[in-house]
Amino acid sequence: MSKKQDNVVRLKEVHDTAVVHPDAEIGKDVKIGPYAIIGENVKIGDGTEVGPHAVIKGWTTIGENNEIFNSASIGQEPQDLKFQGEKSFLEIGDNNTFREFTTIHRGTEEGGSVTKIGNGNLFMAYSHVAHDCQVANDIVMANSAALAGHVEVEDSVVIGGLVGVHQFVRIGKMAMVGGDSKVVKDVPPYVLVDGHPASTNGINAVGLRRNDIEPDVRQKIKEAYRILYRSNLNVSEAIEKMDQELDNSEMVEHFLRFLRNAQRGICK
């Protein structure tokens, strides 16, 4: 046994049946369960727990205090026919939970070669994050929700069970996507969408309250929503009207930036 292998066994709680490549970098207080597989280029931060039969491969970097449940598959090759085995990456932050059978794939050259996961996210059982996705912080993906390639999800989004999100879609901050929805256009911040295809059902009032957004700010967001969706204006006209009539609060400004950068159109 090499010195590096001996350190892994002595300083970490690694089950005898786990397969940990000697070149993998394993932090302090990491637990690796029975029959888990950790690949050569994997880096796992302090305090992370890897459950039984989980597989972590590829150029995958995982931060601190993550919990990876049994049979999760992290850092596998992307499901993209253009992928030719080139070096690509998965970067995961801290304090995330990946429940049973979650799948997170590495990036592709076309998408910048990296998939990114932020901090404090919950990925429920069977959820999927495809290649080149950019997933921010404090997000909940419910059971069997799936993001196609190149999707961007901003902070504090809730995605319901069995949701399918089309490639290149963006989901804005504090939005909520109702269960079993088909999302083919961008979801603006702070709104609730649902359906086939997903359409707006108002402001995500519960999400705003849970994120401690003050009542006066919530009122400004409601007014922005009214202008966008209830004034019979197109998006460009609504942006101009919001610029003229609404205070330049940080959240309204974020709403406007998102609309200006929408490439696929927005859910109506």
Segment 54-68, tens digit of pLDDT: 999 999 999 999 999
Q: Give the H/E segment covering residue 74.
A: strand 73-76
In this predicted structure, the answer to whether residue 198 has a pLDDT above a threshold of 60 is: yes
Please give the pLDDT value at position 55: 98
Active-site residue among 45, 149, 164, 207? 149
Active-site residue among 131, 150, 166, 254? 131
Give the pairing type, strands 191-195 and 198-203.
antiparallel
Please give the pLDDT value at position 50: 98
Active-site residue among 132, 155, 186, 194? 132
Between 6 and 210, the higher pLDDT residue: 210
What is the arrangement of strands in the sheet containing 146-147, beginning at the earlier edge strand? 19-20, 37-38, 55-56, 73-76, 103-105, 128-129, 146-147, 164-165, 182-183
| 8-state DSSP, 264 | S
Q: Global pTM?
A: 0.94
Q: Is 149 a residue of the active site?
A: yes
Q: In angstroms, rounded to a whole number, what is the distance separating the alpha carbons of residues 119 and 135?
A: 9
User: Closest Cα partner for 12 from 40, 39, 50, 42?
Assistant: 50
In this predicted structure, the answer to whether residue 248 has a pLDDT above a threshold of 90 is: no
pLDDT tens for 113-161 read: 999 999 999 999 999 999 999 999 999 999 999 999 999 999 999 999 9
CB 201 within 8 A of CB 213: no
Extract the tokens encoding 67: 């919990």
Phi, psi of 255 (to 5 degrees): -55, -45
pLDDT tens for 35-45 read: 999 999 999 99
* Straight-line distance from the first to the last Cα atom of the chain, in angstroms, rounded to the nearest whole number: 61
Q: In angstroms, rounded to a whole number, what is the distance separating the alpha carbons of residues 214 and 174?
A: 14
